[in-house]
Amino acid sequence: MIKKNNLKSHLHLYKKMLLIRRFEEKAGQLYGMGKIGGFCHLYIGQEAVVVGVDSVKKKGDQVITSYRDHGHMLSCGMDPKGVMAELTGKKNGYSKGKGGSMHMFSKSEDFYGGHGIVAAQVPIGAGLAFANKYKKNQFVCFTYYGDGAANQGQIYEAFNMASLWKLPVVFIIENNQYAMGTSIDRASSTPKLFTRGEAFDIPGRLVDGMDVLEVSKATELAASNCRRGDGPYILEMNTYRYKGHSMSDPAKYRTREEVQNIKDKKDPIENFQKHLLNEGLDEDEFKKIDKEIKEIVSEAADFALESSEPDLTDLYKDIYLDN
């Protein structure tokens, strides 16, 4: 939990959001150059969600999400070099080049993926929470999914078991308004996704996902509920994705004006910067941070591009773990 007016911790949140933004911009650039292949789903616009949630996360709490996962990895402390190297399919990537954008993991940072099948991570997240309860370790699993995934049946199977067994899991819905190209009002019978736990007796709350402090506050409440042994909690983060669903998205389903309007009024990074200026940080500080972040990202890109491809002998490795 962020202490009020704690400038140092606020600055840390700002840096993390900026790192994600600049990293994703670089990834988009490398994709355009053909250095990243396949699917690549950028997190630009949604940075406040993962950074706000992680401000509450304790060492040992798990994080699991879908394929729009770069932000989650950077936020939880994974090395930008390893993430970028994986995006470019190199042997120094987190999955040794075998996972790519959608499938990255880090046991040491308690990041459990990176899952490519819409909603499949949700019962898995409930299972990580099940392991926490089994081991009585007080940890919480933060399980993310999108508004598109919210209509998958296995989520409600997971809700039922999570509530029945009082599992310490926070279900975080990143409602970025569009499931690929289908807006929420064209896909969901009710847009109030945070109420979907009612049938399972799971409390839910709608949160301004563009405001990192609001996200942090709501997550604190939900996580304490879990740690008290009261079972799961749902947080619907109202957010917005600036870029296409993936890199090949023609974005015909929304207007440029709609996107521009959100960028102008709701941008999580710009608004937080204004907030910090009001709190007394001076502009030079931001220039310094900007430079620092650019360097980290550019080093990550250089590292990725210079890394070698996986050895062909790796093709047959890691299919099974030896006894």
Partner 1 sequence: MNSNEILMPALSPTMEEGGIAKWLVKEGDIIKAGDLIAEIETDKAIMEFESALDCKISKLLVEEGTNNIKVNTPIVKINDNHIPLPTKNLNKENDKKNKTKKIINPQNDVHDIDLEKNETQKILTVRESIRDALAEEMRADENVFLMGEEVAEYQGAYKVSQGLLDEFGSKRVIDTPITEHGFTGLAAGAAFGGLKPVVEFMTFNFSLQAMDQIINTCAKTLYMSGGQMNCPIVLRGPNGAASQVAAQHSQDFAPWFASIPGLKVIQPFSANDAKGLLKSAIRDPNPVIFLENEILYNDKSASSEIRDELIPIGKANILIEGTDVSIISYGIGIKHSLMAIELAKDINISVELIDLRCLRPIDYNTVFESIKKTNRCITVEECFPVCSIGNHLSASIMENVFDYLDSPVINCTGKDVPMPYAKNLELAALITPEEIFEKIKKVTNLD
**Part in contact with partner 1 (CB under 8 A); list of ranges 7-15, 110-118, 189-197, 210-218:** 110-118
Which one among 127, 168, 244, 268 touches partner 1, defined by CB under 8 A?
127
CB of 134 to partner 1, least distance (A): 6
Q: Give the DSSP per-residue string, 226-282.
A: HHTT---EEEEEE----S-SSTT---TTS-HHHHHHHHHHH-HHHHHHHHHHHTT--
Strand bridging mode 141-146 / 62-65:
parallel
Residue 207 and residue 194: Cα distance in Å, rounded? 9
**How many residues of this chain bind partner 1 (CB under 8 A)?**
49
Taking CB under 8 A as the rule, which mask of x and - marks residues 301-320 in contact with partner 1? ----------------xxxx
Which one among 65, 106, 216, 273 touches partner 1, defined by CB under 8 A?
106
Q: Which is nearer to partner 1, 85 or 184 (CB)?
A: 85
Q: Which is nearer to partner 1, 73 or 207 (CB)?
A: 73
Under the criterion CB under 8 A, does residue 226 sit at the interface with partner 1? no
Residue 1 · residue 56 · CB < 8 Å: yes
Residue 63 and residue 286: Cα distance in Å, rounded? 29
Under the criterion CB under 8 A, does residue 168 sit at the interface with partner 1? no
Which one among 95, 188, 225, 307 touches partner 1, defined by CB under 8 A?
95
Residue 302 and residue 85: Cα distance in Å, rounded? 9
Residue 72 and residue 160: Cα distance in Å, rounded? 26
Which one among 7, 37, 38, 157 touches partner 1, defined by CB under 8 A?
157
Under the criterion CB under 8 A, does residue 123 sit at the interface with partner 1? yes
**Part in contact with partner 1 (CB under 8 A); list of ranges 91-99, 173-181, 187-195, 284-292:** 91-99
Under the criterion CB under 8 A, does residue 153 sit at the interface with partner 1? yes
Helix boundaries (H) for the chain? 7-32, 47-54, 70-75, 80-87, 121-135, 153-164, 184-187, 212-227, 256-266, 268-278, 283-306
Contact positions vs partner 1 (CB under 8 A): 62, 64, 93-99, 103-107, 112-117, 120, 122-132, 134-135, 141, 153-154, 157-158, 160-161, 164, 317-323
